Amino acid sequence: DTGVSQNPRHKITKRGQNVTFRCDPISEHNRLYWYRQTLGQGPEFLTYFQNEAQLEKSRLLSDRFSAERPKGSFSTLEIQRTEQGDSAMYLCASSLIRNTEAFFGQGTRLTVV
């Protein structure tokens, strides 16, 4: 499978716990994006990387959120001290630098109880 891969697909966690999600982009895609989607809304941008550099972070990304892409390949998104408001689908997408078409993974659905 050469698409964007995200793990896990579903995560249920208790409030206050930390969670980490992983995204493997399409190989050779330099850009990697994280989006969050809540019920009935479109995806909202969180952050993106060009290779290993994190180039932009949304104001939505509180200090409890951190993302990394250490070798310019896969990325992780960590949420510390989860809150119920963090419950959402977390989507990862990748693209080439000069091609704005982004390809999305299947998403990780987070439920904070």
Partner 1 sequence: ELKVEQNPLFLSMQEGKNYTIYCNYSTTSDRLYWYRQDPGKSLESLFVLLSNGAVKQEGRLMASLDTKARLSTLHITAAVHDLSATYFCAVPILRTTGANSKLTFGKGITLSVRP
Binding site for partner 1 (CB under 8 A): 31, 33, 40-45, 48, 56, 91, 95-107, 109
Nearer to partner 1, 42 or 70 (CB): 42
Q: Which of 88, 39, 93 is nearest to 61 (CA)?
A: 88
Task: Give just the sign of the alpha carbon dihedral 45, 51, 56, 57.
Answer: positive
In angstroms, what is the minimal distance from the CB of 113 to partner 1?
19
Nearer to partner 1, 55 or 81 (CB): 55
Nearer to partner 1, 37 or 80 (CB): 37
The gap between the terminal CA atoms of the chain, to the nearest Å, is: 33
Q: Report how far residue 1's alpha carbon sits from residue 47's, in angstroms, rounded to the nearest whole number.
A: 25
In angstroms, what is the minimal distance from the CB of 84 to partner 1?
20
In angstroms, what is the minimal distance from the CB of 2 to partner 1?
15
Q: Which of 103, 70, 73, 106 is nearest to 91 (CA)?
A: 106
